[in-house]
Each structure stands twice: as C-alpha cells, then as structure tokens.
C-alpha cells in the first residue's frame, strides 16, 4: 500500500512538471499571438494549424544552437545558474491546490487528492521558494563576468527584494482573512466571497508586486533590451538561455496560479463541490485570464524608469501594503468583537480609500517634479 502512495506522488509531480513545461511552450505561443492581435498583426501561424507547432520549432532551434561560455566566466556557477533559476519555478507549484478535498476523487480504487503537497504553511513555502529564484539570476549575472549581465543581475536582486516585502504583506492580508497558511484553507475560505472582493486593493498590490517579482513589463528592468542588451542572460545562448526563458514563463504561469488561488477563488466555481474534477478546469481558466492580463499590460505600458521603480516599491507599495494589512486586521477584529460579519465591509471601503490616497500622493509627487523641472521660480 505504501508504494502506491509514492507512485501517486511521483505521477502527480510528473504531471505537474509536464504541465509547466508544456505550458511554458504554449505560453510563448499564446503571448506572441495575443501581442500580435493587440498590434493588429496575425502572429505565428505558419507551423501547423494556428501556428500551434511553433513552440516545437523554437525548441528544436534552441537545442541545436551553439552554446557559448565566455572565456573569463566562472564556469561552474555559469553552468549552475540557469538550473538554480529553473528548478524553483517548477517546485513552487507543488502546494497549489487544483481541486476540492471534500468529494474525494477516486481513481482505480485509490483516493487522489488534487494537489502534490499539502503543507500547513503553504504560503511560507511559496515565499521562500520564490526568493530562491533570485539567486540564479544574480549568480548568472555575476558569473558571466560581463558588465551588462552584472548590472542586470544586481537590478534584478534589488527589485525582487524590494517587491518581495510588498508581496509578503499582500500574502499577510490573505492569511488574516483565511485564518490559515494552508492553501486549501485559503481557497475554502473564499467560498462565500473571493478575497478580491473583500480586499481589492490587496489584490491590486499583489498583482503589481508579482509583475515586479517575475520581471515582467512594465517592471522588466533586469532584462531591459535597450539598456542592458538583455541583462543577466546576455552571455547565455542555446539551451542555457532557454532555461532562463523557461523559468521566466513558468514563473508567469505559477504566479498566475498563486494569484488565482489566493485572491480569485482558486478552483472554486459553479458545481465544483459536486464534480471536483471541474476544479482544475476553473483553475486553468483563471490562470489563462490572469496570463492575458500580464500580456495585455506588457503590450500597453512602457517600462518604468529604474529609480522610479525603486521609489514606487519603497515609498508607495510598501506603505500601502502596511496600511491594508492594518485595515484588514482592524476589520476582522471589528467583526469579531461586534459579532457581525457585516463589519467586514469596512475592509474594502477603507482599503479603497487608502488606495485612492496612494494614487493621489503619487500624482502629486509627479506633478510637483514636473513643475520644478519645467517652470523656473
């Protein structure tokens, strides 16, 4: 009996890894098609129907590309860095629940739970693994022994550390609302209302911080082509470059899954508690929508200047996140003390006020700078 449990784990892990690997390939296709549509183009449509074989063609091309190692690179670290970046982006997905626990899924007489690992500190696991990925990037930048790669790696570190605090505080609001760090409990706590309704500003802060965390536009500073000639992976080619690329896109999928889990109700949807296998489908739909959001933002907004990125992270996002953590705690306490969940409505109302104040402050700061620079006094 024991070995069957192991087998189930291995098979589930394999499926999850395959989902991320294939998902990465098709995410590149999805992004290219969506970007093309936004730019009134068609996008890749030559390889196979709707260009669906394009990722395979890209993979074959990348595998057969020459791999260069700079002569003065620190070879071992240079070799390890893509792996260190890649592995966390896969294993981070382990704690994400894909379906409810309650009506159990039976397959060949065995109960299959729709997650790989059920850790009671799931959120902590997410945070810790997410911050490991930055090592790969900064080591890649350093071991390349190249100025641009170094700058890209350092920028990435600074950015990820700055936004990680905000991300953590956004997680704290979720933990407060759910009363648990276990991902399944967080999802089940959203059965009446998704947390995006109770804490909309928290969700917005989370999504912005996540964009910075996975180095996506408009915060794709570490790989700014125009300034840094691709940043930390400037010296990489062939499959090693593909690993960085893979890690970035897998992280996109994974953070979309996390955002869906903690704010958008995870696997919850109509009838999911009658047919639990609907869970993965709802989850997938939510992930695809959130991924479209990322692509959409990339197609729309220009890259943020680096000093503004840091200023925004430390002077706006962090105080705002602290404020919403306070508001969330206050609202929960109010509801508990007065014994009526209606007082939870304090949370969205007060956090929207906090968000508007933050926007006004940003606007005033930017306007003041404009006046100072254009109008001599």
Q: Which residue, 27 or 242, has its beta carbon nearer to other proteins? A: 27
What residues are paired with 106 via a beta bridge? 111
Which residues neighbour 74 within 8 Å (Cβ) at sequence distance 6 or greater? 142, 143, 145
CB of residue 196 to other proteins, shortest distance in Å? 17
CB of residue 157 to other proteins, shortest distance in Å? 27
For residue 245 the two structure tokens come to 């690329």
CB of residue 341 to other proteins, shortest distance in Å? 30
CB of residue 215 to other proteins, shortest distance in Å? 20
Report how far residue 131's alpha carbon sits from residue 171's, in angstroms, rounded to the nearest whole number: 14
Asked if 360 touches other proteins (CB under 8 A), the answer is: yes
Options 356, 368, 370, 371; binder of other proteins; rule CB under 8 A: 356
What residues are paired with 306 via a beta bridge? none
Q: What's 336's DSSP letter?
A: H
Q: Which residue, 151 or 291, has its beta carbon nearer to other proteins? A: 291
Among 17-25, 31-39, 119-127, 230-238, the segment contacting other proteins (CB under 8 A): 31-39
Options 14, 15, 21, 39; binder of other proteins; rule CB under 8 A: 39
Q: Which residue, 39 or 336, has its beta carbon nearer to other proteins? A: 39
For residue 275 the two structure tokens come to 């047919």
Among 265-273, 308-316, 317-325, 357-365, the segment contacting other proteins (CB under 8 A): 357-365
Report how far residue 102's alpha carbon sits from residue 81's, in angstroms, rounded to the nearest whole number: 41
For residue 146 the two structure tokens come to 């190249």
Options 7, 289, 349, 359; binder of other proteins; rule CB under 8 A: 359
Options 111, 300, 336, 345; binder of other proteins; rule CB under 8 A: 300
Asked if 365 touches other proteins (CB under 8 A), the answer is: no
Report how far residue 130's alpha carbon sits from residue 246's, in angstroms, rounded to the nearest whole number: 15
Asked if 161 touches other proteins (CB under 8 A), the answer is: no
Asked if 47 touches other proteins (CB under 8 A), the answer is: no
What residues are paired with 23 via a beta bridge? none
Among 11-19, 150-158, 178-186, 296-304, the segment contacting other proteins (CB under 8 A): 296-304
Among 14-22, 229-237, 346-354, 362-370, the segment contacting other proteins (CB under 8 A): 362-370
Asked if 305 touches other proteins (CB under 8 A), the answer is: no
Closest by CA to 291, choosing from 355, 210, 359, is: 210
How far does CA 244 lie from the centroid of its chain? 15
Report how far residue 94's alpha carbon sits from residue 153's, in angstroms, rounded to the nearest whole number: 27
Tell me the residue length of the chain.
377
Query: What Å distances lie between residue 9 and 21, 110, 113, 117, 136, CA to CA?
Result: 18, 12, 10, 9, 27
Options 239, 299, 310, 334; binder of other proteins; rule CB under 8 A: 299
Asked if 369 touches other proteins (CB under 8 A), the answer is: no
Report how far residue 82's alpha carbon sits from residue 70's, in angstroms, rounded to the nearest whole number: 15
Report how far residue 347's alpha carbon sits from residue 341's, in angstroms, rounded to the nearest whole number: 11
Asked if 353 touches other proteins (CB under 8 A), the answer is: no
Asked if 349 touches other proteins (CB under 8 A), the answer is: no
What residues are paired with 105 via a beta bridge? 112
Question: Applying CB under 8 A, which residues contact other proteins?
Answer: 34, 36-42, 296-297, 299-301, 356, 359-360, 362-364, 366
């Amino acid at each position: 009996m024991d070995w069957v449990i192991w087998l189930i784990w291995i098979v589930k892990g394999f499926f999850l890894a395959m989902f991320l690997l294939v998902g990465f390939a098709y995410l590149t296709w999805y992004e290219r098609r969506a970007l093309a549509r936004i730019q009134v183009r068609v996008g890749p449509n030559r390889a196979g129907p709707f260009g669906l074989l394009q990722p395979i063609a890209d993979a074959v091309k990348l595998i057969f590309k020459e791999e260069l190692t700079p002569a003065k690179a620190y070879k071992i670290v240079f070799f390890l860095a893509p792996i260190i970046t890649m592995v966390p982006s896969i294993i981070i997905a382990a704690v994400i629940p894909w379906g409810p626990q309650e009506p159990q899924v039976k397959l060949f007489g065995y109960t299959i739970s729709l997650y790989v690992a059920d850790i009671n500190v799931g959120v902590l696991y997410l945070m810790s693994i997410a911050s490991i990925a930055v090592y790969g990037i900064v080591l890649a930048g350093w071991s390349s022994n190249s100025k641009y790669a170094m700058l890209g790696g350092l920028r990435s570190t600074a950015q990820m550390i700055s936004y990680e605090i905000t991300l953590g505080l956004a997680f704290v609001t979720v933990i407060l609302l759910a009363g648990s760090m276990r991902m399944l409990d967080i999802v089940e706590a959203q059965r009446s209302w998704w947390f995006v309704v109770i804490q909309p500003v928290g969700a917005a802060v989370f999504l912005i911080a996540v964009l910075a965390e996975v180095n996506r536009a408009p915060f794709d500073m570490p790989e700014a082509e125009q300034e840094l000639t691709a940043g930390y992976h400037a010296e990489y080619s062939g499959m090693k470059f593909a690993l960085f690329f893979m890690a970035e896109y897998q992280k996109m999928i994974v953070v979309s899954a996390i955002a869906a889990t903690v704010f958008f109700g995870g696997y919850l949807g109509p009838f999911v508690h009658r047919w639990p296998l609907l869970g993965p489908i709802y989850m997938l739909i939510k992930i695809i929508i959130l991924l479209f959001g990322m692509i959409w933002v990339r197609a729309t907004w220009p890259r943020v200047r680096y000093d503004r990125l840091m200023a925004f992270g430390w002077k706006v996002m962090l105080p705002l996140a602290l404020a919403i953590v306070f508001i969330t705690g206050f609202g929960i306490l109010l509801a508990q003390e007065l014994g009526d969940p209606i007082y939870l409505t304090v949370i969205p109302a007060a956090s929207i006020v906090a968000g508007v104040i933050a926007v006004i402050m940003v606007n005033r700061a930017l306007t003041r700078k404009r006046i100072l620079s254009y109008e001599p006094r």
